[in-house]
Amino acid sequence: SVSPGVLPLCCRLPAWDRASRPSPSPLQPPGLPLAPCRSFSNNKIQVELDESSGVAMMKFKSPPVNSLSLEFLTEFSISLEKLENNRACRGVIITSAVPKIFSSGLDITEMCGKSMEHYTEFWRAVQEMWLRLYGSNMVTVAAVNGSSPAGGCLMALSCDYRIMAENPKFSIGLNEAQLGIVAPFWFKDTFVNVVGHRIAERSLQLGSLHPAPEAHKLGLVDELVPEEKLMEKAAAVMAQWLALPDHARQLTKTMMRKAVLDRLVAHREEDIKNFISFVSKESIQKSLRMYMEMLKKRKS
Ligand code: CO8
């Protein structure tokens, strides 16, 4: 098992700084099912790598809602790093094994009534997840098979391509403002890079959660497909992206994303301090507690 927060990853060169992988051998489309597979499932995330196609499937399996706890984030970053370091792996599809939910975003209980040390460790793990995913050399496809608020939306936005199940009951967006909190600058940067400034500004100020069809119209997700076709479509998109030489695609991705990644790397400690000072305010703690209560009331 992994001790939470001890991320050996931080000490290594980030993915976007590493030498590119060698160019691929002639491509084999991934196809379904992804077999033969090498899997390294852990508590909250299950990973299956099909070495013949070079495509890994990463499934979130942390019921009830795949909230991004410290443990989840740590497992995620370590799993991604394992794949990143495996030359047989060229692409990863991320999806959920929990029905109707992709991820409910950051685990709010990790931000309520905890110590400064805990907030530091938690926020560093959130940063690490994003640096790893947004900066990944691999092709990353999000198969969004359920609702995906806030941090869940960030994960999808950090991928190269997003396909969502066309169920209008599933929504996605950066709804932080609805919780009385503010999306950090690198959440915002990632959002702007996907949908453009105007849509991002309106959506962030209103804390909008967009039903799947609206998310598609705004460009927040690239495609909608019937839920039963989602994995097939994700595999087909992956094959299309993997048909290019890795080095050209990776360098292009770096060119597009480096400035945004570097901005967080340069201000990482300051960003942690800001998070701690923000989240430990009594008014913010109150907002978060009220939001959790609202979730529970809505249920009963
Ligand atoms: N964290 C912790 N617990 C959660 C979360 C969460 N994000 N979301 C849901 N839960 C809990 C619920 O409280 C409930 O607990 P219990 O069973 O003990 O009552 C359980 O999970 C199941 O939840 P629901 O009954 O609501 O499940 P549904 O299937 O009806 O709905 C949803 C699922 C749509 C995901 C719904 O739970 C929901 O809307 N959750 C809230 C999502 C949200 O707003 N997340 C935002 C988190 S903040 C974030 O990610 C970025 C913060 C950036 C930091 C800014 C600086 C401070």
One-letter amino acid identity for 204? L
Residue 24: what pLDDT?
Answer: 41
Active site residue 151: yes
pTM: 0.90
Q: What is the mean pLDDT of the chain?
A: 90
Please name every residue paired with 59 in a beta bridge, in sequence order, or none if there are none: 46, 95
pLDDT recorded at residue 20:
42
From the alpha carbon of 103, which atom of ligand 1 is closest?
Answer: 35
> pLDDT tens digits, residue range 230-288?
999 999 999 999 999 999 999 999 999 999 999 999 999 999 999 999 999 999 999 99
Catalytic residue among 75, 81, 166, 176: 176
275 vs 167: CA distance, rounded Å: 34
What digits encode the pLDDT tens for the residues 178-219?
A: 999 999 999 999 999 999 999 999 999 999 999 999 999 999
CB atoms inside a 10 Å sphere around CB 279: 19
Q: Measured in whole angstroms, how far is the alpha carbon of residue 136 from the centre of its chain?
A: 11
Beta bridge partners of 223: 163
Our separate counts of H helices and E strands in the chain read 10, 11
* Helix, coil or strand: residue 294: helix
Q: Choose the catalytic residue: 106, 154, 179, 242.
A: 106
Rg (CA), the chain: 18
Q: Render pLDDT for 5-56 as a digit per residue (tens, 0 to 9).
A: 333 333 333 443 333 444 443 334 444 444 566 777 789 999 999 999 999 9
Find tokens 């305010």 and name the residue: 281
> Which percentage of the chain shows pLDDT scores above 90?
84
% of the chain surpassing 70 pLDDT: 87
What is the position in ligand 1's atom list of the atom closest to the CA of 179?
Answer: 44
Which domains are delineated in the chain? Answer: 37-299 (3.90.226.10)
Closest CA to 156 of 184, 187, 128, 180: 187
The set of protein residues with a Cβ atom below 6 angstroms from ligand 1 is 64-65, 67, 101, 104-109, 147, 149-151, 175-176, 179, 181, 183-184, 275, 278-279, 292, 295-296, 299
Tell me if residue 175 is catalytic. yes
pLDDT of residue 50: 95
Distance CA 16, CA 4 (A): 24
Token readout for 94 is 């991320």
* Strands 139-144 and 45-50, sheet pairing: unpaired
* pLDDT tens digits for range 118-136: 999 999 999 999 999 999 9
What pLDDT does 36 receive?
A: 61
Mean pLDDT score, 145-164: 98
> What confidence tens digit (pLDDT) does each residue in 92-102 have?
999 999 999 99
Assess whether pLDDT exceeds 80 at residue 300.
Answer: no
Ligand 1: which of 44, 60, 65 to mutate, judged by most atoms within 8 Å of the beta carbon? 65
- In angstroms, what is the span from residue 201 Cα to ligand 1's centroid? 23
Could you tell me the distance, in angstroms and rounded to a whole number, from the CA of residue 84 to the centre of ligand 1? 30
CA atoms of 300 and 213, how far apart (whole Å): 29
Centre of ligand 1 from the C-alpha of residue 90, in Å = 32
